[in-house]
């Protein structure tokens, strides 16, 4: 009888999702807290909007730059370790062979069972270096344009997230009414975003949504309370 082909359903866009989560979570939370804090101290939607969009601009640039530098650091670290492994394969091959055997031993293979693989790797230095990078050091080769993609993804996610809590101030002149609307819209967005994040990361969607909304709500409440006390 013909068998139904097995299809792997593993999620492979982990880095992109991580960047969206970083940018969106901060974009929803920081401008929301800023708007709440300013509303507690002043009575002008225009000032809240001006300060909010200025923060979004600065925050998205800073977050994007941080993502770019982090990705560049990962790429430079990988290149440095790769060069070291290639040198060790040439200068101390016997030591590297022992390390390969030790790796296979962790999977339950004996020296005899792993001998053919070790011999094959010795004939292919580049594959040997790839093997050591992945299984000895636990490092994957970064995508060539990863740094720029990470920066743009984080920055754009921050902008999208930041516009949501400020949208109420665009339509309501009374900042206190706008804050109420902003709270409702932003908390809904946090719930949805948290649930979607949980769907991709394997966390229960309800729990992830509640955690995200609670964190954003506490940040806004703290900013509003501090502004009220100071003013």
Q: Which residues of 181-203 are buried (b: 16+ CB within 10 A; e: fewer)?
A: bbbebbbebbbebbbbbbebeee
The pLDDT score that the predictor gives to residue 65 is 92
Q: Is the dihedral of CA 84, 87, 93, 97 positive or negative?
A: positive
**Which of 44-48, 170-174, 224-228 bottoms out in mean pLDDT, i.e. has the lowest?**
224-228
State what percent of residues in the chain have pLDDT above 70. Answer: 88
**Which pLDDT value is given to residue 61?**
92
CA–CA dist 132, 32 (Å, integer): 46
Per-residue pLDDT band for 220 (boundaries 50, 70, 90) equals: low
* Spatial distance between the Cα atoms of 167 and 25, rounded to a whole number of angstroms: 17
Separation of alpha carbons 26 and 15, rounded Å? 17
Tell me which of 66-70, 156-160, 172-176 is least confident.
Answer: 172-176
Residue pLDDT, tens place only, 189-198: 888 887 877 7
pTM of the shown model: 0.74
* Banded pLDDT at 11 (limits 50, 70, 90): very low
Sign of torsion, CA 4 5 6 8? Answer: negative
CA distance linking residue 118 with residue 89, whole number of Å: 12
Q: Where are the domains of the chain?
A: 14-72+147-230, 80-136
Q: What is the mean pLDDT of the chain?
A: 80
Q: Which pLDDT score, from 0 to 100, does residue 227 have?
A: 61
CA distance 182 to 35: 9
138 touches 48 (CB < 8 A)? no
DSSP calls for 203-221:
S-HHHHHHHHHHHHHHHHH
Phi, psi angle pair for 69, to nearest 5°? -65, -35
The first and second tokens of residue 193, run together, are 């975003």
Residue 25 above 90 pLDDT? no
The 10s digit of each residue's pLDDT in 88-132 is: 888 887 888 888 888 887 777 777 777 787 788 777 888 888 888
- Cα–Cα distance, 45 to 47 (Å, whole number): 5
């Amino acid at each position: 009888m013909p068998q139904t082909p097995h299809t792997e359903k593993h999620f492979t866009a982990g880095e992109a999702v991580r960047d969206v989560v970083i940018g969106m979570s901060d974009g929803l939370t920081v401008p929301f807290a800023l708007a709440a804090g300013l509303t507690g101290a002043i009575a002008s939607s225009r000032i809240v909007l001006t300060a909010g969009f200025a923060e979004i601009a600065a925050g998205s640039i800073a977050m994007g730059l941080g993502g770019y530098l982090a990705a560049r650091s990962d790429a430079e670290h990988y290149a440095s370790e790769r060069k070291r492994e290639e040198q060790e394969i040439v200068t101390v091959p016997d030591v590297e062979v022992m390390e390969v055997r030790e790796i296979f031993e962790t999977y339950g293979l004996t020296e005899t069972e792993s001998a053919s693989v070790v011999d094959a790797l010795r004939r292919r230095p580049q594959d040997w270096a790839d093997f050591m990078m992945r299984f000895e050091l636990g490092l994957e080769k970064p995508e060539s344009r990863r740094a720029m993609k990470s920066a743009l993804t984080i920055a754009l996610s921050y902008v999208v997230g930041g516009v949501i809590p400020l949208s109420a101030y665009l339509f309501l002149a009374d900042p206190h009414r706008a804050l109420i609307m902003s709270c409702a819209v932003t908390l809904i967005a946090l719930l949805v975003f948290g649930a979607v994040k949980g769907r991709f990361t394997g966390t229960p969607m309800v729990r992830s949504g509640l955690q995200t909304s609670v964190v954003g709500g506490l940040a806004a409440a703290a900013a509003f309370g501090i502004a009220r006390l100071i003013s």
